[in-house]
Chain A
Amino acid sequence: MDTDIHQEQVELDVERQHKAREYARIGRRLSLIGLGISAAGVLVLLLRPGQLAARYPAAAHMVGLAAGHRLVSTANSGLFFGNLPGL
């Protein structure tokens, strides 16, 4: 297979760059909001661990799973399933 596109001078699209900056800015804000929600969820559970574990051990387990997943994935720490090289 061959691509039929011919080499030409490719210019940076100024309008798309403007959109790119906007898109990146919104994306970062949403990540921060997600991180904040996850951190708040974890904090709520941290502040009442004994009570929660005693009364709702399964629920504590599940919420921990969900909140922790969001927190860790939002942090994009790469600790467990980190990024391998891309483009």
Chain B
Amino acid sequence: MVIYLVYEILTAPLSYYSGYTLSHRYGISTMSRGAWVGDQLKGLALGVVLEAAVIELMYALLAFQPDSWWLWVALILIFFLVVMANLAPVLIMPIFYKFTPLPEGELTERLLALVKRANTHVRGVFTMHLSAKTTAANAGLRGLGNTRRIVVGDTMLDRYTTDEVEVVIAHELGHPVHRDIWKLLFSQSLLMLGGLYLANLAFHWVVQTQHYYQSFADPATLPFLFALLGVFGLVVMPIGNGLSRAIEYQADEYALQATRKVESFKSAMTRLANQNLAEVEPAPLVEFLFHNHPSIQKRLRHADEFATR
């Protein structure tokens, strides 16, 4: 417990600086210190509960199924991912943000018409009260299956034209049209299976050949397991980001085709860059490694190309 506290104290200044000080200095955060700490505590409590459950499950399987634990863990986590994607907008997100139904009017009607045109369904259109925490704008589809809904940040509603919000939501609707959620779940499942299988091989090597640990379920193996998964995650991160960028490009294409509003698309992207302090043209290597969306420069170029077709 002492080591745990020392670790938390050591890393707390970094969390505070990056999460509170820096975002205030650049005008991104609107949260008070107390509200920020409150959110951190809520996140920590939620993370500890969920991660502890996953880790206990993993070590129970390591103890009783030392050869096939990785497969069971992957299957359970995939199921957990789907359930969490379904429950997030009704159970998790309201812990951090306030949501209210978007009042009836032209915007709501146009967004619901887009949903109909996309031949999909949503549980409604909601305002997400982002301004209590940030100046940045955001919008999207949240949830999976019977919980899926359109969410538009109030930081977008008060600064963007109806056409701009419409084209942004058309982009989001491109994801269910192209079945992107399932594509991403499938690709993440494959990565998870690969990562856990490699961890299994390494586990067997260190326990049976090198005798570094007493058994597979030895709690001292936990840092080793996380180091393996962390390194694996870093190595495959550009692959996941590359797939995500390709999916986002297709969603942009859908938004342009569905609305034919090239100028609104471009002005929405430019407003987002200005408002969210997004780098319009990051270095190619930075984009390749870290960005899960195409750069705004590429998205603007895409819109220009679309206009000339």
Contacts and interface: CB of A to CB of B under 8 A. Distances in A.
Given A30-B18, A80-B77, A80-B192, A85 B229 contact: no
A69 B273 contact: no
Which residue of B102, B157, B158, B279 has the most chain A CB atoms within 10 A of its CB atom?
B279
A68 B226 contact: yes
Interface string B1-41: 11110011011001001100010001010000000000000
Contact of B51 (A7, A41, A69): A69
B233 A76 contact: yes
Contacts of A56: 3
B230 A71 contact: yes
Contacts, number: 238
B223 A2 contact: no
Classify the interface of chain B: helix, strand, loop or mixed. helix
Given A20-B273, A50-B213, A63 B227 contact: no
Nearest to B223: A45
Interface in B198-223: 212-214, 218-223
Size bin of chain A's contact surface: 35 or more
A50 B191 contact: no
Interface in B29-62: 47-48, 51-52, 54-55
Contact of A87 (B47, B171, B213, B267): B171
Nearest to B4: A62
B219 A60 contact: yes
B286 interface: yes
B100 to A, nearest CB: 11
Given A58-B219, A85-B251, 16 more contacts: A1-B103, A2-B162, A7-B263, A19-B26, A28-B290, A43-B227, A52-B220, A53-B213, A56-B3, A63-B223, A78-B188, A78-B237, A79-B191, A79-B229, A86-B140, A87-B140
Interface of B: 1-4, 7-8, 10-11, 14, 17-18, 22, 26, 28, 47-48, 51-52, 54-55, 77, 81, 84-85, 102-108, 138-141, 157-165, 168, 171-172, 175, 180-181, 184, 188, 191-192, 195, 212-214, 218-227, 229-234, 236-237, 240, 244, 247-248, 251, 263-264, 266-267, 270-274, 277-280, 282, 286, 290, 292-293
